[in-house]
Structure 1
Amino acid sequence: MLTGDQYKASLSDGRATYFEGERVEDLVSHPILGPAVQNVADGYDWLATQAVDGQSPLSGIPTSPQDLRDKVDLVHKAGMMAHVTYTSLMTLTTAASRLSKSAPQYVDRINAFVEDAQRRDLRVTQCITDAKGDRSLSPSKQDDPDSYVRVVERRSDGVVIRGAKLHITAASFGHELMTIPTKAMRAGEEDYAIAAVIPVNAPGVKIINTTYAPRHDDLRDFPVSGIEHFPEGFVIFDDVFVPTERILLDGEVESASVFAHSLGLWERLGGLSSMADGSDVLVGLAQLIAEANGLDRVGHVKEKISEMIIHATVVRACLEAALTNAETGIFGAVFPNELYTNAGKYTGAANYNLMVRHLHDIAGGAIVTAPSRADLENPEVGDLARKYMSTRGDVDGEYRTRLFHTIRDLTADAYGGWKQVTNVQAGGGLYAQRIVTRKHYDLAAAKGAALRIAGLAESEGPSGGF
């Protein structure tokens, strides 16, 4: 296992990463990106305390529903970088299972990479979303053929790829880029049916970073994003050579969608798990600020919080169903149930903005106008600010102010905006989740039940509770 310090040292490998127009020579000491690097290092050190026989607890694959549940809990505690790594490796494990019949020649390569990454305790990020160009056109019909990552040269020992992958969380902080097709490909699009694992410091890889990290000296006013934030990477492959042993798919258009579907399952499980916890936090904040405002017994406020509670409970129930009804692949790995994973992720994302609206309605405008912590400490205005931020004798002005800062940071500032977009887009948009949910729902059984109720079934059985 790597230590946090060893991880930080591993980033000094010549990688080409950029932030706000300048190349970042030292990620560890960078004023904006450096604290996020330290978060990853802290995650490494925490995982070392959970090691089993000297191996990272991220190693191995889940072989039972309980094992899967334990892994999900573990990666959330270990932080974003552990999450994206585990998601990437389980995506490959899932893809290997699904490719065993259609493209078996890649299975050994995939398994070898997963085992090596786990053995060396590497961090891996998933690169899936292409620049895409004109969304109404397929990859082969684009004005710029590089709008989707493609093979531009084939050699005896590998291929050269060109293109870009967008929205890649923590791309600059990992060791490997799991690069996969973003969609199904058609005949004639063989060059776009390319999947590979590429070192972050490979010649030609260039990463532009954006971040919601707060740009304030006093991070006390940012209790969420000030503690943990990660950049999004705009990953450019500027004629990058990929050796044969790192190619996981090359030209098999009929198998191109396997990787995207595999990633979607694990990305949506991670999103569902995060939403389950996050929904409880929104309920808690709504109740706390209602109490601080003296509105916790008002009918419409109680009704809004009740709706938030129902939402949180349904999302949590879908997560529990996805884990409890886990399915086993041909190699013995356990995967979350696709029906409940997708239905839960859709429900959580589709209703998130309404839950935030309820929270804002309950809390009030001070979400975005409350004075800073430094203002409360100012000798001239601090006492007055605390006085007028109080609501009654048992509600301290600083306490209420800090609640407002938390609500703003979580739902109404840079991180809050990132969260709203990410909830919808991570793991594919809402429409994709509806498609997969419908695919895995037993519609035939539902039709059969309806026919029995209507007395139209050939063999009428029990009414099914009606």
Structure 2
Amino acid sequence: MGLRSGAAFMESLRDGRSLYIDGERVDDVTAHPAFRGVLTTLAGLYDAQLDPEFADVLTVWDATSDEAYSTTLLEAHDHGDVLARQRCDRLRTELTYGMMGRLPDFMNAYLLDVKSSLEHVGKHEEAARMDACLARLRREDLAVTHTLVDPQSDRSTQDAPPEAVRIVERRADGIVIRGARLLSTLAPVANEVFVGPYAPRRPGQEDYALVCMLPLDAPGLKIVCRQAYDRGDGLFDTPLSGRFDEGDAILVFDDVFVPEDRVVVAGDLDAYNNVVRNAVGYGPLQGAARSTSKLKFLAGLATVAARTTGRAASPRYQEELGEIMGLLNVAEGLLDGAALDLSRRIGERRDPGSVLRGHGRPGEESRVGIAALTFFFPYAIAKAVEVLRTVAGSGAIVMTEGELRHEEIGHLVEKYVHGPGISAERRLQVMRMVWDMTCSPFAARQALYERYYTGDPVVGRVRFFNAPKTREAEALAERLLGTVVPD
């Protein structure tokens, strides 16, 4: 089939899936108002692939099939391929302003990382299964999401709770799974779901060591959504909620059959525990591109808000905005660094002697992408939101478009709610966007999402402490200590 249009994507979602939101069963997700905005956004991305203005960046040509497919599914073999992916990631995330953390782009990169990790640890059969899944995605241009987190029935332990997804029956043609997984972002509007690893599984937990992909209309699969943030208030009043509310859901697998060709891992603890541990870094590159686009948008919106209120003329606010622009410059460098890291790792796995070591070079490989996502971007994005809140001040607490258009008071709004040389309509439009980015339920979810984008930040910091780079830094300090002559 190759590349799909936005209309074809929408039609593919009319599949009779079992989806529940706000206390009701939804028969057609494309017709429900809670998903209308995000579906329009996603359909626009599908159409962009077919637009001559964007096609050379968003798609690549496969000489074997004589068809184009999404660049987000390009398996890189050299630095040129990595740069092609980086351009695509930047364009797609700028088209969505960095607001959607779980675009299909994320999962396409993640699945390439899964394949690379399985290959690296010698799990070639599982890697081949993952490769077959990727080939199918290239042919069918599907939107895939994931579900990774076990039910939080007891957070005092990382052992799989009895409610977690597990294998309950093995058949010659596949497996039957039962249980639940949390926080499946984009699940309401995706085609398929990747059921992947959470915490490492231990001996005795083989039935919980499960990796597979299946369509979201699979019999027995229930999609239970959180409350929608797009409440139909219109794009003037909720310009972000009304476009980018991805939707999060709990997935309940009520004895769901998974065909053999959709199973990647089923009981192999070593394969399960290494699904992403040795990834080359497609995911961090995509994540860095998305985070950079979001930081760029926030920096721009804060500047627009400052000009709208007149605060851009004040050195106090120029200093605040200048810091965000500085962070944006750092982000651009980190994005380039993540691309270089990915290229170097791909090259080293192809030719172990290709990466030079020795004097004047790092002794241990760097992990720029995941480090940026763990440490830099959560701080930078939170700081940018705080600056946005500061430059807008109480001006972000504003009336709606309804008051502006009201026949009795509209002229009063025009008279009293303008900015310096700026109409009341323009000021309200800007401040409604600021409100949606800083104070709305959508904004609160965005803040939480950024904090936990790579998982528990404490676990991430401990992981970096236990990485080889720590020993390299420690050795440098010990070298100087060894030259000190005691008094």
Q: Is TM-score (shorter-chain normalized) higher than 0.5?
A: yes
Task: State whether residues 110 and 248 of structure 1, in contact with CA within 8 Å, keep that contact through their aligned partners in structure 2.
Answer: yes
What is the SS of the residue equivalent to 1:38? helix
Determine if the alignment matches structure 1 residue 56 to structure 2 residue 58: no
Please point out which of 350, 355, 369 is paired with 1:341.
369
State the Cα distance separating 1:409 from its structure 2 match: 1.0
CA drift of 1:175 comes to: 2.1
Match of 1:38 among 32, 37, 40: 40
Of 18, 22, 46, which aligns to 1:16?
A: 18
Asked whether the 8 Å contact 1:88–1:263 carries over to 2, the reply is: no
Over 3 Å counting, the alpha-carbon distance change for 1:263 and 1:452 in structure 2 is closer
Q: Secondary structure at the match of 2:149?
A: coil
Q: 1:74 to 1:363 in 2, by over 3 A?
A: closer
* SS, match of residue 222 in structure 2: strand
Name 1:306's counterpart in structure 2.
322
Question: What aligned pairs does 1:59-98 form with structure 2 within 5 A after superposition?
Answer: 59-63=73-77, 64=79, 65-76=82-93, 84-98=103-117
RMSD of aligned Cα (Å): 2.8
TM-aligned CA deviation for residue 102 of structure 1: 4.4
- In 2 relative to 1, CA 280–123 (structure 1 residues): closer, same or farther, beyond 3 Å? closer
Is 2:338 the counterpart of 1:315?
Answer: no
Among 155, 172, 180, which residue is 1:135 paired with? 155
The answer to whether the 8 A contact 2:102-2:145 is kept is no
SS of the residue corresponding to residue 178 of structure 1 reads: strand
Give a deviation string over 1:15-57, Cα, whole Å, max 9, x none: 2112212211112222222343333223222212315444123
Sort the Cα spacing of 1:8 and 1:397 in 2 relative to 1 into closer, same or farther, 3 A: closer
Distance 1:424 1:264 in 2: 23
Match of 1:362 among 386, 391, 410: 391
Q: Is the 8 A contact 1:268 1:426 kept in 2?
A: no
| Closer, same or farther: CA 77–97 of 1 in aligned 2, 3 Å | same
> CA–CA distance in 2 between the matches of 1:150 and 1:276?
37
Compute the displacement of 1:320 (Å). 1.9
Map 1:10-409; keep pairs closer than 5 Å.
10-49=12-51, 50=55, 51-53=59-61, 54-58=67-71, 59-63=73-77, 64=79, 65-76=82-93, 84-100=103-119, 101-140=121-160, 142=161, 145-146=162-163, 148-210=164-226, 212-261=228-277, 266-326=282-342, 327-329=344-346, 330=349, 339-345=367-373, 346-368=375-397, 370-392=398-420, 394-409=421-436
Cα distance in 1 between the residues matched to 2:283 and 2:453: 7
The whole-number CA distance in structure 2 between the counterparts of 1:410 and 1:3 is: 30
What whole-Å deviation, never above 9, does each CA across 1:209-238 have from its counterpart, x for those lacking one? 235433244331122222333221221111
Which amino acid letter does the alignment assign opposite residue 310 of structure 2?
A: G
Equivalent pair of 1:91/1:259 in contact (CA under 8 Å): no
The amino acid of 2:413's aligned partner reads A
Q: How many angstroms apart in 1 are the aligned matches of 2:218 and 2:229?
A: 27
Q: By how many angstroms is 1:407 displaced?
A: 0.7
Task: Supply the distance in 2 between the matched residues of 1:41 and 1:171 (Cα, whole angstroms).
Answer: 15
The 3 A distance-change label for structure 1 pair 37 and 362 is closer
Q: 1: distance between equivalents of 2:143 and 2:68?
A: 15
The alpha-carbon deviation at position 186 of structure 1 amounts to 0.9
Residues 1:302 and 1:264: Cα distance change in structure 2 (over 3 Å): farther
Which region of structure 1 is more displaced relative to structure 2, 191-200 or 312-321?
A: 312-321
| Residue 118 of structure 1, CA deviation | 1.0
- Seen in structure 2, the aligned counterparts of structure 1 residues 430 and 201 have a Cα distance that, compared at 3 Å, is same
**What secondary structure does 2:74 align onto?**
coil
Structure 2 Cα separation of the partners of residues 418 and 442 of structure 1: 33
AA partner of residue 3 (structure 1): S
SS of the counterpart of 2:243?
coil
Check 1:363–1:201 CA distance in 2 against 1; reply closer, same or farther (3 A cut): same
Native 8 Å contact 2:116 2:279 kept in 1: no
Report the secondary structure of 1:325's partner residue: helix
For residues 272 and 143 of structure 2, the distance between their equivalents in structure 1, rounded to whole angstroms, comes to 24
- Bigger shift: residues 70-79 or 309-318: 70-79
What is the distance in 1 between the residues matched to 2:449 and 2:285? 14
Residues 1:437 and 1:207: Cα distance change in structure 2 (over 3 Å): same
Within 2, Cα distance between the matches of 1:31 and 1:409? Answer: 18
Between the aligned partners of 2:304 and 2:32, the Cα distance in structure 1 is 37
Q: Look up the match of 1:461.
A: none
Q: TM-score, normalised by structure 1?
A: 0.87
Alpha-carbon displacement from aligned partner over 1:426-459 (angstroms, at most 9, x marks no partner): 231322432454455633443343345556299x
Matches of 1:263 and 1:416, distance apart in 2: 31
From the superposition, tell whether residues 28 and 231 of structure 1 become closer, same or farther in structure 2 (CA, over 3 Å).
Answer: same
SS at match of 2:224: strand
Question: Secondary structure of 2:236's partner?
Answer: helix
Letter of the 1:257 counterpart: N
Q: Which moved more, 1:445-454 or 1:215-224?
A: 445-454
What runs of 5+ residues in structure 2 fail to find an aligned partner? 62-66, 352-364
TM-score by length of 2: 0.83
- For the structure 1 residues 74 and 331, does the alpha-carbon distance in structure 2 shift closer, same or farther, using more than 3 Å as the test? farther
1:12 maps to a residue whose letter is: R
Q: CA, structure 1 residues 338+165, in 2 after alignment: closer, same or farther (shift >3 Å)?
A: farther
Does structure 2 conserve the Cα–Cα contact (< 8 Å) formed by 1:130 and 1:164? yes
Give how far 1:134 is off. Answer: 0.2
Paired with 1:270 and 1:384, the residues of 2 have a C-alpha distance of 47
3-state secondary structure, aligned to 2:230: coil
1:323 Cα deviation after fit: 1.3
Residue 355 of structure 2 corresponds to none
Distance 1:289 1:12 in 2: 40
Q: 1:311, 1:386 → 2: CA distance?
A: 37
Q: Which is further off, 292-301 or 158-167?
A: 292-301
Deviations 1:67-111 (A, max 9, x none): 231232244257589964333233233222322334322122111
Unaligned runs of 5+ in 1: 459-466
